[in-house]
A and B are shown apart, each in its own frame.
Chain A
Amino acid sequence: MGEALLAAEAVTKRFGQSIALDAATLTIDRSESVALVGESGAGKSTLLRCFNRLIEPESGTVSVRGNDVRSVDPILLRRSIGYVPQESGLLPHWSVLRNVSVVPWLAGNPAAQQLGRDSLSLVGLDPQRFADRRPRELSGGQRQRAALARALAVRPDIVLLDEPFGALDAITRADLQATFRKLQRELGLTAVLVTHDLREAFDLGDRVVVMRAGRVEQAAKPAELLAAPATPYVTELLDRARVRER
């Protein structure tokens, strides 16, 4: 086991009456890629958002790089962590380059534009062709690539991805998954990825975390999960996704 870069310790969060996180505990190592899976309402996205303080837990402790997030300025914390939402979230009135350069620009980095261009190249979007376009002139896959480029522009050590490829067709999704996996390994990114798709979780996650009703049901390497499901729920989930038949 390496150094724990992200940690959630007995984290609880309620939205009104319904409980989203119920004493969830999870530790993620440096350069590890972790996929959070589970049904809708299992608490995957809520847990993800605790790491960059988009959500403040009621109890429990969340720490990033060894520091309790409550002791860190949320704005600076978010700028230091890459974030990719399902719908790219690119600002429609800005050019692609301005969107991709936004994080270093917010930090006042004079080289923001160059970082943006580099990042575009990194995700496979030619800056020459794409820098000046508007988000609406891009295909769905290109928009998600641009969103990934935005997340990586300042080369953060951590990236949070909230169902980043969920809305794409199968072929485009496979391309983007490959790009992401390659970058994650090359850059040594610590990645937390929320997905509905168990196959995607197995392909992209060094570890797969099965969540259910706000708790971590099982967290294990794909092979271990397949070999030894910890609970009947995990078995059922694997059966339903037919991952084992592959």
Chain B
Amino acid sequence: MKRRLAILALAGLTLTGLAGPKPVVVASKPFGESYLLAEMFAQLLEAHGFAVERKLGLGATELAFQALRTDAIDLYPEYTGTGLTAILHESPSADPREAFSRVATEFSRRWGIRWLPPLGFENTYAIAVRKETAERLHLRTLSDLARAAGDLTAGLTPDFIGRPDGLPGIRRAYGIEFKAVRALGPAVKYQALAAGKVDVIDGYATDGFIARYDLTVLQDDRRFFPPYQAAGLVGPRLQREAPAAVLALEELSGRLSEGTMRRLNRRVEVDNEPVPTVAADALAELGLIKQGGPTRGQRDTSAVSRQPSGADRGSLGAYLLAQAPTLARLTLRHLLLVAVSLAAAVLVALPLGLMLEQTRRAAETTIRAVGLLQTIPGIALLAFMIPLIGIGVVPALVALFLYSLYPILRNTYTGVRNADPDAVNAAVAIGMKPTQVLRHVRLPLAAPVIMAGIRTAAVINVGTATLAAFIGAGGLGDPIVAGLSLSDSRMILSGAIPAALLALVVDATLGVVEWAVKADR
């Protein structure tokens, strides 16, 4: 008996040993600088011997923060101004020190989240115009802009339009009233400005594109924009379980100037150099790791790190070919997300539809309630779920499952209810049991309608699954999100084209299934 216990204990120890320490989960938000800082954190940790798992390009501030709060991730780069306004919902502070001490105290008190000492640069909002516009209208400061704004169209990110330290703030502080304001995604605003589609955009002080397009950044002469100091944000688990990792991360504090960041961002965003290469070079320059980068690709799960050298500006075809193994893996992951969530939705919605057809009473109400799920934007649904089930594959599956329910449920109910009444009545009259009527009459007669619902759900599902990238679940959304963040259209297409093909293939496959179901056995 004692011996048996000993063996059990030994086995337990071995298992724990095999599992090893949990890797440090490093995340970023979906824009170039965030990817770059996260990659630098990751490589720094790897240089100190920590295992790292990358979850780069998480949806937005809300997603990343919720994930950190619930220990679904351990670390991501954030900005003090954002912490103050977007998370604490407080008014921005003009003094950088005051801002930092405020967020550091509050985050620690409320959530046990730690702000590492700032990295050294500020990345505040930068209002930019084309050089030609600046010269023609003699624009140097935001006060100058207030004078000329009535003739100018602004292309601003939805984020900037909404937040108090964005458009509403500069309206109040400077009295700036544009001729028109268009909401533009971060990925397209610089191109829109360069192409003359808009005249003014909001950017970040360290954006590489400012140099690329030779833009003029207007000076914040009334010091309206609050300080946005960049710093690592560390979750409770890592502080508790690996204080040495936290200590290692602090080596980067105070080491990155605005000039350095603008140069690094330019390499990533403009020259399309791979993020890991740029990160490794930067760390080596600072003397934090040895030249050559010790850890490239070790536990590499991000799409970004897989892009080939930016110097390679070959055709899209050549790019896709070079990426084939990666794309195959992402496609498989994508297909798995779709298949599992769709199968679960069929298993739930089909019986539910049949049940509702039997009872009828609550049918319309229930189906409409499920239909309401369809109206929740994907990113919002994901944000709601993070506190409940964290990030990664599981919440992605749950979201896709929820989105798949409605078409299947609606079509099952309608198809079975409208099955040829003559055939159904006769089947009852000749002595079929209710289950036999269902199995031999209602279901086969409803099969084309039910299959149409499943095919609709499948195609929607393939498209929606690209959202999974926002919560680190992988799939073809990875290159799409990363490409959007890094303004790399080939990377975007390398995710979008296989996704479109996958939708066609899935639909065609289900078409064959439908044909088989309809055929007489």
Question: Are the C-beta atoms of B428 and A54 separated by less than 8 Å?
Answer: yes
Q: Give the chain A neighbours of B148 by CB distance below 8 A.
A: none
Check A240 for interface membership: any CB of B closer than 8 A.
no
Question: Are the C-beta atoms of A94 and B420 separated by less than 8 Å?
Answer: no
Q: Give the chain B neighbours of A83 by CB distance below 8 A.
A: 426, 429-430
Closest to B426 in A: A89
Q: Give the chain B neighbours of A151 by CB distance below 8 A.
A: 430
Check A93 for interface membership: any CB of B closer than 8 A.
yes
Question: Are the C-beta atoms of B429 and A89 separated by less than 8 Å?
Answer: yes
Closest to A73 in B: B431
Q: Give the chain B neighbours of A98 by CB distance below 8 A.
A: 520
Q: Give the chain B neighbours of A87 by CB distance below 8 A.
A: 422
Question: Are the C-beta atoms of B520 and A103 separated by less than 8 Å?
Answer: no
Question: Are the C-beta atoms of B432 and A93 separated by less than 8 Å?
Answer: no
Check B493 for interface membership: any CB of A closer than 8 A.
no
Q: Give the chain A neighbours of B520 by CB distance below 8 A.
A: 93-95, 98
Closest to A89 in B: B426
Question: Are the C-beta atoms of B436 and A85 separated by less than 8 Å?
Answer: no
Closest to A54 in B: B429
Question: Are the C-beta atoms of B432 and A106 separated by less than 8 Å?
Answer: yes
Q: Which of A172-219 contact B (CB under 8 A)?
A: none
Q: Which of A61-85 contact B (CB under 8 A)?
A: 75-80, 83, 85
Check B425 for interface membership: any CB of A closer than 8 A.
yes
Task: Report the minimal beta-carbon distance from B438 to chain A, rounded to whole angstroms.
Answer: 13
Check B440 for interface membership: any CB of A closer than 8 A.
yes
Our pick among A78, A85, A94, A147 for the contact of B431 (Cβ within 8 Å) is A78
Per the CB 8 Å criterion, the residue count for chain A at the interface is 26
Check B474 for interface membership: any CB of A closer than 8 A.
no
Known: A93-B444, A93-B520. A88 touches B426 (CB 8 A): yes
Check A102 for interface membership: any CB of B closer than 8 A.
yes
Check B433 for interface membership: any CB of A closer than 8 A.
yes
Question: Are the C-beta atoms of B430 and A103 separated by less than 8 Å?
Answer: yes
Q: Give the chain A neighbours of B428 by CB distance below 8 A.
A: 54, 78
Q: Which of B403-450 contact A (CB under 8 A)?
A: 420, 422-423, 425-433, 436, 440-441, 444-445
Q: Give the chain A neighbours of B422 by CB distance below 8 A.
A: 85, 87-89
Known: A85-B422, A87-B422, A106-B436. A93 touches B429 (CB 8 A): no
Known: A89-B422, A89-B426. A79 touches B518 (CB 8 A): no
Question: Are the C-beta atoms of B423 and A79 separated by less than 8 Å?
Answer: no
Q: Give the chain B neighbours of A95 by CB distance below 8 A.
A: 520
Our pick among A76, A89, A91 for the contact of B440 (Cβ within 8 Å) is A91
Question: Are the C-beta atoms of B430 and A78 separated by less than 8 Å?
Answer: yes
Check A90 for interface membership: any CB of B closer than 8 A.
yes
Our pick among B425, B430, B431, B445 for the contact of A92 (Cβ within 8 Å) is B445
Task: Report the minimal beta-carbon distance from A48 to chain B, rounded to whole angstroms.
Answer: 10
Check A150 for interface membership: any CB of B closer than 8 A.
yes
Closest to A81 in B: B431
How many angstroms between the C-alpha atoms of A88 and B518 in the bound complex? 21
How many angstroms between the C-alpha atoms of A44 and B428 in the bound complex? 19
Q: Give the chain A neighbours of B425 by CB distance below 8 A.
A: 85, 89
How many angstroms between the C-alpha atoms of A91 and B429 in the bound complex? 13
Q: Which of B324-342 contact A (CB under 8 A)?
A: none
How many angstroms between the C-alpha atoms of A98 and B444 in the bound complex? 15
Check A52 for interface membership: any CB of B closer than 8 A.
yes
Closest to B420 in A: A92
Q: Give the chain A neighbours of B426 by CB distance below 8 A.
A: 83, 85, 88-91, 147
How many angstroms between the C-alpha atoms of A76 and B423 in the bound complex? 19
Q: Give the chain B neighbours of A78 by CB distance below 8 A.
A: 428-431
How many angstroms between the C-alpha atoms of A163 and B420 in the bound complex? 19
Task: Report the minimal beta-carbon distance from A126 to chain B, rounded to whole angstroms.
Answer: 21
Question: Are the C-beta atoms of A79 and B431 separated by less than 8 Å?
Answer: yes
How many angstroms between the C-alpha atoms of A83 and B432 in the bound complex? 12
Question: Are the C-beta atoms of A79 and B429 separated by less than 8 Å?
Answer: no
Question: Are the C-beta atoms of A79 and B445 separated by less than 8 Å?
Answer: no
Q: Give the chain A neighbours of B430 by CB distance below 8 A.
A: 78-79, 83, 102-103, 106, 150-151
How many angstroms between the C-alpha atoms of A102 and B427 in the bound complex? 9
How many angstroms between the C-alpha atoms of A94 and B520 in the bound complex? 6
Question: Are the C-beta atoms of B518 and A93 separated by less than 8 Å?
Answer: yes
Question: Are the C-beta atoms of B427 and A89 separated by less than 8 Å?
Answer: yes
Task: Report the minimal beta-carbon distance from B419 to chain A, rounded to whole angstroms.
Answer: 10
How many angstroms between the C-alpha atoms of A90 and B436 in the bound complex? 15
Question: Are the C-beta atoms of A93 and B445 separated by less than 8 Å?
Answer: yes
How many angstroms between the C-alpha atoms of A106 and B432 in the bound complex? 7
How many angstroms between the C-alpha atoms of A186 and B427 in the bound complex? 27
Q: Give the chain A neighbours of B440 by CB distance below 8 A.
A: 91
Closest to B447 in A: A93
Q: Give the chain B neighbours of A88 by CB distance below 8 A.
A: 422, 426
How many angstroms between the C-alpha atoms of A78 and B518 in the bound complex? 28
How many angstroms between the C-alpha atoms of A85 and B428 in the bound complex? 12
Question: Are the C-beta atoms of A75 and B441 separated by less than 8 Å?
Answer: no
Question: Are the C-beta atoms of B431 and A106 separated by less than 8 Å?
Answer: yes
Question: Are the C-beta atoms of A91 and B436 separated by less than 8 Å?
Answer: no
Closest to B440 in A: A91
Q: Give the chain A neighbours of B433 by CB distance below 8 A.
A: 75
Closest to A80 in B: B431
How many angstroms between the C-alpha atoms of A106 and B440 in the bound complex? 11
How many angstroms between the C-alpha atoms of A193 and B431 in the bound complex? 19
Task: Report the minimal beta-carbon distance from B112 to chain A, rounded to whole angstroms.
Answer: 63
Interface-centre pick from B423, B427, B428, B429 (highest chain A CB count, 10 A) = B429
Q: Give the chain B neighbours of A89 by CB distance below 8 A.
A: 422-423, 425-427, 429
Q: Which of B236-270 contact A (CB under 8 A)?
A: none
How many angstroms between the C-alpha atoms of A83 and B433 in the bound complex? 16
Q: Give the chain A neighbours of B431 by CB distance below 8 A.
A: 75-80, 103, 106
Interface string of B58-92 (1 = CB under 8 A from A): 00000000000000000000000000000000000
Interface-centre pick from B420, B425, B426, B427 (highest chain A CB count, 10 A) = B426
Closest to B519 in A: A93
Task: Report the minimal beta-carbon distance from B82 to chain A, rounded to whole angstroms.
Answer: 61
Interface-centre pick from B420, B423, B430, B432 (highest chain A CB count, 10 A) = B430
How many angstroms between the C-alpha atoms of A88 and B423 in the bound complex? 8
4 closest Cβ contacts across the A-B interface? A89-B426, A79-B431, A78-B431, A87-B422
- Besides the known contacts A92-B445, A93-B518, A151-B430, 13 further A-B residue pairs in the complex with CB atoms under 8 A apart: A52-B429, A76-B431, A78-B428, A78-B430, A79-B431, A83-B429, A85-B425, A89-B425, A89-B427, A89-B429, A91-B444, A103-B430, A106-B431
The residues of B with any CB-CB pair to A shorter than 8 Å are 420, 422-423, 425-433, 436, 440-441, 444-445, 518, 520
What are 10 sample pairs from A and B whose C-beta atoms fall under 8 A apart?
A54-B428, A75-B433, A79-B431, A80-B431, A83-B430, A88-B422, A88-B426, A89-B423, A106-B432, A106-B436
The residues of A with any CB-CB pair to B shorter than 8 Å are 52, 54, 75-80, 83, 85, 87-95, 98, 102-103, 106, 147, 150-151
